[in-house]
Amino acid sequence: MFELSKDHEDFRALVRDFAQNEVAPHVERWDAEAHFPTELVPAMGELGLFGLNAPEEYGGAGLDEGGFTYLCLAIEELGRVDQSIGITLSAGVGLGINPILTYGTDEQKQRWLPDLVAGRALAGFGLTEPEAGSDAGATKTRATLADGTWTVNGAKAFITNSGTDITSVVTVTAKTGETSEGKPELSAVMVPSGTPGFVVEPAYRKLGWHISDTHGLTFEGCQVPEANLLGARGEGFKQFLKTLDDGRIAISALAVGCAQRMLEEASSYSRTRIAFGRPIAVNQGVSFQIADLAVMVEAARLLTYKAAWLKDEQEAGRRGVAEVKQAAAIAKLYSTEAAVTATRIATQVFGGNGFMEEYPVARFFRDAKILEIGEGTSEVQRMLIARGLGLPA
C-alpha cells in the first residue's frame, strides 16, 4: 500500500512555507483586482515546482520515482492558500509541460521545456471549444497541411495560462482529416504566442479563480510549421485523454487543499465566535458539521494520494492504465464534490461574516464550483467509473 515518505512531507512543509510567505499576504488584493501575478511564476520555478516531473536535462528535478505525488503535494499546499495559484501550477505542468514532455520530439523539448520548467514561461492546452467540451468529437477547429505548413482556423474556450505576458505556446487540438472509419481525425498542433492569426480574447469575467489567467482563443489563417505537430498525426484524441486522466488527480489535490482550508477556518472561527455567551463550537449543530468536514477531508486526501501513488507506480511500469484511470475518476469525483460541500459548511459556520469578502471563506466558496466542472464534470466521472466497473455503456 502507498504512504508518503519523509521526503514527501519535508517537501510539503517547504511548499507550505512558500505559500504562506509569498502568496498569502497578497491574495486578497490579487483576487479583488483580478491580477495575475506574473512575478510569482519564476519564484515557483526557482523552487522547482514546474520541474517535478521533468528530467534534469531540461532543468527538472530528475526524480526516479514519485514525481507526480510531489506535484500533487505542491498543488494541495498552494490551493490551501489560494485556488487560483494552485490551478496555475496544475495547468502549467499538467496541460502545458507534460504533453510536450510525453509526446514531443527532441527538438520540441529542447526548444520549449527549459523555459517552462524554470518558470520563465507558461504554456496552455487548447481543448475545449464553445460547442465542444466533454464531446471532443464535436471539435470544429481545423488544421490543414499544405507545403509543409499547418493552417489553423477555429476557436477555443476557457483556456488557462493562455494570455499571460510570459505565455510562450498553446497546444491546440484540431481536426486534421478523417479516419478510415469516417470519424474525425484529431491531432495536436503547437501554436507559439504572437503567431499571426492567433488572437487571445479578453480575459473572462469569472465567478471565481479571479487570479488565474483564462481566455478564449481564436485562430484565423494561423500558420505554423509542419514540425509543430505534437505527437503522431491522428493521435490527438488519445493524447488528451491521457492528459485529462493525469489532470483529474491534480484537480483532486487542488480540491483537497480547498477542503483542508475550510476545515481550518471553520474550526478556528467556531472556537472564537461567541453567541449566547459561549463559543458556537459547543453547539452540536456546528460541531457535527465540522466533524463531517474532517471526515470528508481525510477521505478526499486518501483517495487523491492513492491515485497519485498509482500514477507513479504506472510510470514505473508496475500498474496498468485502467487502474489509474478508475482511481483518478473516483478521486476527482469525491474530492471536488467534498470541496464544494466544505465551502458551503464553512460559510454557514461563519454566518453573515461568511458572505463578506474580507473573510477567505467567501473567496473559496466562489472558487470551489469550477472544481466539479473542469477536467471532466462530475457527470463524466460517474460515467467513467461505471464503465470501469464493466457496466453497460
- Residue range(s) occupied by CATH 1.10.540.10 in the chain: 6-121
What does the pLDDT read at residue 2?
Answer: 59
* 371 phi/psi in degrees, rounded to 5: -60, -30
Residue 205 has phi, psi (to 5 degrees) of: -90, 105
Report pLDDT for 393.
75
- What pLDDT score does 26 carry? 98
What is the rounded distance in angstroms from the CA atom of residue 5 to the CA atom of residue 162?
Answer: 35
Contact 53, 101 (CB under 8 A): yes
Residue 375 bears catalytic tag:
yes
- Whether 338 and 294 have beta carbons less than 8 Å apart is answered as no
pLDDT at 228: 98
Residues of the chain with CATH 2.40.110.10: 125-233
Residue 376: burial class (beta carbons within 10 Å; 0-12, 13-18, 19+): buried
Give the Cα separation of 260 and 172 in Å (integer): 34
CA angle 35/355/79 to nearest 5° reads: 45
Residue 127: per-residue pLDDT: 92
What are the cell numbers at 173?
487540438
What is the rounded distance in angstroms from the CA atom of residue 90 to the CA atom of residue 97? 10
CA dist 48 and 34 (Å) reads 26
Residue among 56, 40, 54 nearest 88 (CA) = 40
pTM for this predicted structure? 0.96
Task: List, by residue range, all CATH 1.20.140.10 domains of the chain.
Answer: 237-388
| Third-level CATH fold of 125-233 | Butyryl-CoA Dehydrogenase, subunit A; domain 2 (2.40.110)
The torsion angles phi and psi of 267, rounded to 5 degrees, stand at -65, -45
Block mean pLDDT (10 aa), the chain, length 393: 83 98 98 97 98 96 90 98 98 96 97 98 95 81 98 98 98 93 92 98 98 98 98 91 91 98 98 97 97 98 97 94 96 98 98 97 98 95 97 87
Domain spanning 237-388, CATH class: mainly alpha
Taking the CA atoms of residue 208, residue 209, residue 211 and residue 215 in that order, the dihedral angle to the nearest 10 degrees is -100
- Residue tagged active-site, from 129, 313, 337, 375: 375
Terminal Cα-to-Cα distance of the chain (whole angstroms): 31
- Residues 294 and 197: their CA atoms lie apart, in Å, by 50
Does 6-121 carry CATH code 3.40.50.300? no
